[in-house]
Amino acid sequence: MRPYVVLNPGAGSADPDAVAAALSRLPAAVVGACEAPGDAPRLAVEAARAGFDPVVAAGGDGTVSAVAHGLSSLTSPPRLAILPLGTGNDLARTLAIPLAIDEAVDALLAEIVRSIDLIDVESDDKTRTTAINVSAGGFSGEVDEAMTSERKRRWGPLAYVWTALQVLPDIESYRTRLWLDGGPLLEIDALNVIVANGRTVGGGRAVAPLANPEDGLLDVVLVHRGSAVDLARIAARLLAGDYLNDDLVTLHRAAAVRVESDPPMPWNADGELVTRAGVTFTVRPRALRLLVGPGYSPDPPRAA
């Protein structure tokens, strides 16, 4: 093991002393701190080319996504490891990586390796990126547009709930057109569209509870238009973990998904707003090797 740590010093739950103590347990670790946008993928690529393995993303889901994006551009990338220091840490939750930093280091040192799918994201405005956890459009995108870094630092996972409550009075539906694996057109009035590789967003909200990050398929969850009462019911079932059983929520699986809407819906990739244009998602099966937690299973727990 020759680790290189891509550290986001501004991550939501990062305590400098605890982080320093944790990193001291990694054998001969070299640390590169992110100071500007674009540093994380650049540092990851430079570390890989210098022979470091694993490359450790020490930060939140945005840092993990950026490091994964950088590594995914290489022909033979090193392993990716995660030290969850962010607000939501949602990919870590799917991969059973402990959220306590000392326990996360223990999991990293155990070197349990799995090959995980990635999501290639390409929009009509020429935006191209890679997601590793979840891309969401519609209401979720509106929440990300309204989210601020200060709110995330101050409120942690509750920042997502607070921002959602602010956005909710102005929520609108989107006349949405989808093509799954190039099949026939599917048209719905949607409030939210989830394209998932991992299972949770927003600090543990199970938006795709049956997703398997190794099956070569995307879980596409559609939340249809409904009344205020319907939305309250769906929100309650989301918190309870069984919203896939609601009549206004449908689940599809596909290796490629094309989505267009009127009006254009905002889309995020791993929590970062990326586009309002039509967008195509394509799975890249088992494209990246990750160090996972000891309790990880690609097979999801059964939905309630």
Q: For the full predicted model, state whether its pTM sits above 0.85.
A: yes
Active site positions, annotated: 272
Which pair of tokens denotes residue 231? 């939305």
Residues 183-195 have a mean pLDDT of 94
Would residue 183 count as lying in a domain?
Answer: yes
123 and 270 share one domain: yes
Query: How many folded domains does the chain comprise?
Result: 2
Would residue 198 count as lying in a domain?
Answer: yes
Bridge-based pairing state of the strands 30-33 and 4-7: parallel
Q: What ranges make up the beta strands (E) of the chain?
A: 4-7, 30-33, 55-59, 80-84, 113-123, 128-131, 134-138, 174-180, 186-196, 218-224, 249-254, 256-262, 267-269, 272-275, 279-291
Domain with residue 47: its CATH number is 3.40.50.10330
128 and 35 share one domain: no
Would residue 212 count as lying in a domain?
Answer: yes
Read off the pLDDT band of 28 (50, 70, 90): confident
Contact 139, 171 (CB under 8 A): yes
Ranges 53-62, 175-184, 223-232, 286-295: which has the least confidence: 223-232
| pLDDT above 70 coverage of the chain, percent | 88
Instruction: Decide which of 111, 127, 153 is a domain's last residue.
Output: 111
Contact 176, 278 (CB under 8 A): no
- CB neighbour class for 263 (10 Å; exposed up to 12, middle 13-18, buried from 19): exposed
Per-residue pLDDT, 170: 52
Cα Rg of the chain (Å, integer): 18
Read off the pLDDT band of 302 (50, 70, 90): low
CA atoms within a 13 Å half-sphere pointing along the CA-CB vector of 275:
19
132 and 266 share one domain: yes
Ranges 14-28, 30-44, 135-149, 257-271: which has the least confidence: 135-149
Would residue 298 count as lying in a domain?
Answer: no
185 and 277 share one domain: yes
Which pair of tokens denotes residue 169? 């009075």
Would residue 301 count as lying in a domain?
Answer: no
156 and 238 share one domain: yes
Residues 15-21 have a mean pLDDT of 86
195 and 149 share one domain: yes
Contact 52, 30 (CB under 8 A): yes
pLDDT digits (tens, 9 = 90+) for 103-156: 999 999 999 999 999 999 999 999 999 999 999 998 754 444 544 455 445 444
Contact 68, 132 (CB under 8 A): yes
73 and 129 share one domain: no
93 and 138 share one domain: no
Between 263 and 202, residue with greater pLDDT: 263
Instruction: Decide which of 111, 144, 172 is a domain's last residue.
Output: 111
201 and 127 share one domain: yes
Per-residue pLDDT, 226: 83
172 and 190 share one domain: yes
pLDDT at 27 over 80: yes
Task: Please provide the DSSP assignment of 218-235 as one string.
Answer: EEEEEEE---HHHHHHHH
* Pairwise CA distance, residues 28 & 113, whole Å: 20
42 and 124 share one domain: no
Which pair of tokens denotes residue 8? 């986001």
Would residue 266 count as lying in a domain?
Answer: yes
pLDDT at 161 over 70: no
CA atoms within a 13 Å half-sphere pointing along the CA-CB vector of 294:
7
Residues 272-293 have a mean pLDDT of 96
Residues 191-198 have a mean pLDDT of 94
Domain of 56 in residue numbering reads as: 4-111
| pLDDT above 90 coverage of the chain, percent | 70
- Say if residue 41 is preceded by a cis peptide, omega within 30 of 0: no
pLDDT at 197 over 60: yes
Q: Which helix (H) or strand (E) holds 109?
A: helix 101-110
Domain with residue 200: its CATH number is 2.60.200.40
* Pairwise CA distance, residues 148 & 211, whole Å: 28
- Say if residue 298 is preceded by a cis peptide, omega within 30 of 0: no
Instruction: Decide which of 95, 111, 127 is a domain's last residue.
Output: 111
Identify the CA nearest to 102 among candidates 31, 44, 168, 26.
Answer: 26
Would residue 170 count as lying in a domain?
Answer: yes
Would residue 292 count as lying in a domain?
Answer: no
19 and 107 share one domain: yes
